[in-house]
Amino acid sequence: MKTRDNIRNIAIIAHVDHGKTTLVNELLKQSDTLDQHTEIGDRAMDTNDIEKERGITILSKNTAVKYGDKQINILDTPGHADFGGEVERIMRMVDGVLLVVDAFEGTMPQTRFVLKKALEQHLTPIVVINKVDREGARPAEVVDEVLDLFIELGADEDQLEFPVLYASAMNGTSSYSDDLASQEHTMKPVFDTIIKTIPAPIDNSDEPLQFQVAMLDYDDFLGRIGVGRVFRGKIKVGDNVTVMKLDGSTQNFRVTKLMGFLGLNKVDIDEAEAGDLIAVSGMEDINVGETVVDPSKKEPLPVLRIDEPTLQMTFGSNTSPFVGKDGDFVTARQLLERLQRELHTDVSLRVEDTGEPGSWTVSGRGELHLSILVETLRREGYELQVSRPKVILREFDGEMCEPFESVQIDTPEEYSGSIIDTLSQRKGTMENMENTGNGQQRLTFLVPSRGLIGYPTEFLSITRGYGIMNHSFSKYLPVIKKWNPGRKNGALVSINAGKTTTYAIMGIESRGTIFVDPGTEVYEGMIVGKNSRDNDISVNITKGKKLTNVRASGSDDMAKIKEPDHLTLEESLEFLNDDELCEVTPHFVRLRKKTLNTKQREKEAKVARHN
Closest by Cα among 607, 569, 594, 596 to 314: 594
Q: Is residue 601 part of a domain?
A: no
Q: What gap in Å lies between CA 511 and CA 520, rounded to an integer?
A: 19
Q: What gap in Å lies between CA 530 and CA 521, rounded to an integer?
A: 18
Q: pLDDT value at position 249?
A: 87
- For the stretch 184-202, pLDDT in tens is 898 999 999 999 999 999 9
Q: pLDDT value at position 82?
A: 54
Residue 290 pLDDT > 90, yes or no? no
116 known member of a binding site: no
Q: pLDDT value at position 552?
A: 52
Residue 59 pLDDT > 70, yes or no? no
20 known member of a binding site: yes
Closest by Cα among 96, 86, 144, 85 to 118: 96
Q: pLDDT value at position 130?
A: 92
Q: Is residue 602 part of a domain?
A: no
Residue 151: exposure state from Cβ atoms within 10 A (0-12, 13-18, ≥19):
exposed
Q: Is residue 188 part of a domain?
A: yes
Last residue of a domain, one of 478, 504, 530: 478
Residue 95 pLDDT > 90, yes or no? yes
Q: Report the pLDDT averaged over residues 201-206.
A: 91
Do residues 177 and 42 both lie within one domain? yes
CATH of the domain at 244: 2.40.30.10
Residue 424 pLDDT > 90, yes or no? yes
Q: Is residue 278 part of a domain?
A: yes
Do residues 451 and 503 both lie within one domain? no
Residue 367 pLDDT > 50, yes or no? yes
Q: 96-102 and 70-76 as β-strands: parallel, antiparallel, unpaired?
A: unpaired
Do residues 45 and 165 both lie within one domain? yes
Average pLDDT, whole number, for the chain?
Answer: 85
Q: What gap in Å lies between CA 498 and CA 203, rounded to an integer?
A: 71
Do residues 278 and 182 both lie within one domain? no
Q: Which of 215-224, 248-257, 383-392, 504-513 is least confident?
A: 215-224
Beta-carbon contacts of 109 under 8 Å, excluding residues fewer than 6 positions away, are 15, 81, 406, 408, 470, 471, 472
Residue type, 453: I
Three-state secondary structure along 276-329?
Answer: CEEEEECCCCCCCCCEEECCCCCCCCCCCCCCCCCEEEEEEECCCCCCCCCCCE
Do residues 51 and 167 both lie within one domain? yes
Q: Is residue 396 part of a domain?
A: no
- Host domain of residue 523: 491-566
314 known member of a binding site: no
Do residues 86 and 174 both lie within one domain? yes
361 known member of a binding site: no
Per DSSP, the three-state class of 548 is: coil
Output 329 or 556, whichever has higher pLDDT: 329
- For the stretch 248-263, pLDDT in tens is 888 888 888 898 888 7
Do residues 40 and 168 both lie within one domain? yes
Q: What gap in Å lies between CA 491 and CA 580, rounded to an integer?
A: 10
Q: pLDDT value at position 79?
A: 54
CATH of the domain at 447: 3.30.70.240
CATH of the domain at 554: 2.40.50.250
DSSP sequence for 353-418: E-SSTTEEEEEESSHHHHHHHHHHHHHTTB-EEEE--EEPPEEETTEEEEEEEEEEEEEEGGGHHH
Give the pTM: 0.76
Residue 241 pLDDT > 70, yes or no? yes
Beta-carbon contacts of 433 under 8 Å, excluding residues fewer than 6 positions away, are 416, 441, 442, 443, 444
Residue 33 pLDDT > 80, yes or no? no
Please state at what angle helix 416-425 crosses helix 455-463, rounded to 10 degrees.
Answer: 160
Do residues 21 and 105 both lie within one domain? yes
Q: pLDDT value at position 218?
A: 75
Q: 440-448 and 164-168 as β-strands: parallel, antiparallel, unpaired?
A: unpaired
Residue 34 pLDDT > 70, yes or no? no
Residue 473 pLDDT > 90, yes or no? no
Q: Is residue 321 part of a domain?
A: yes
Whether the CB-CB separation of 458 and 496 falls below 8 Å is answered with no
Highest-confidence segment of 39-48, 312-321, 450-459? 312-321
Q: pLDDT value at position 84?
A: 57
Do residues 503 and 464 both lie within one domain? no
Residue 52 pLDDT > 60, yes or no? no
The CA-based angle 353-472-78, given to 5 degrees, is: 80
CATH of the domain at 366: 3.30.70.870
Residue 131 pLDDT > 70, yes or no? yes
Whether the CB-CB separation of 79 and 11 falls below 8 Å is answered with no
Confidence bin at 318 (pLDDT 50/70/90):
very high
Output 84 or 279, whichever has higher pLDDT: 279
Do residues 373 and 500 both lie within one domain? no
Report the percent of the chain where pLDDT is more than 90: 40
Residue 454 pLDDT > 50, yes or no? yes
Q: What gap in Å lies between CA 501 and CA 556, rounded to an integer?
A: 9
Q: pLDDT value at position 38?
A: 44
The number of angstroms, rounded, from the C-alpha of 265 to the middle of its chain's C-alpha atoms is: 24
Last residue of a domain, one of 197, 227, 246: 197
Q: What gap in Å lies between CA 111 and CA 147, rounded to an integer?
A: 12
Q: Which of 151-160, 202-211, 219-228, 318-327 is least confident?
A: 219-228
- For the stretch 510-533, pLDDT in tens is 999 999 999 999 999 999 999 999
Q: pLDDT value at position 36?
A: 42
133 known member of a binding site: yes
Report the percent of the chain where pLDDT is more than 70: 90
Per DSSP, the three-state class of 341 is: helix
Q: pLDDT value at position 162?
A: 93
Q: Report the pLDDT averaged over residues 283-288.
A: 78
Highest-confidence segment of 58-72, 192-206, 443-457, 475-489? 192-206
Q: What gap in Å lies between CA 300 and CA 282, rounded to an integer?
A: 19
557 known member of a binding site: no
**What is the number of structural domains in the chain?**
5
Whether the CB-CB separation of 569 and 583 falls below 8 Å is answered with no
Do residues 135 and 37 both lie within one domain? yes
Q: pLDDT value at position 55?
A: 44
Residue type, 246: L
Q: Is residue 243 part of a domain?
A: yes
Do residues 224 and 322 both lie within one domain? no
The number of angstroms, rounded, from the C-alpha of 223 to the middle of its chain's C-alpha atoms is: 25
17 known member of a binding site: yes
Q: Is residue 604 part of a domain?
A: no
Last residue of a domain, one of 197, 231, 259: 197
Q: pLDDT value at position 19?
A: 79
Q: Is the dihedral of CA 411, 417, 418, 422 positive or negative?
A: positive
CATH of the domain at 190: 3.40.50.300
294 known member of a binding site: no
Q: What gap in Å lies between CA 71 and CA 93, rounded to an integer?
A: 15
Q: Report the pLDDT averaged over residues 113-141.
A: 88
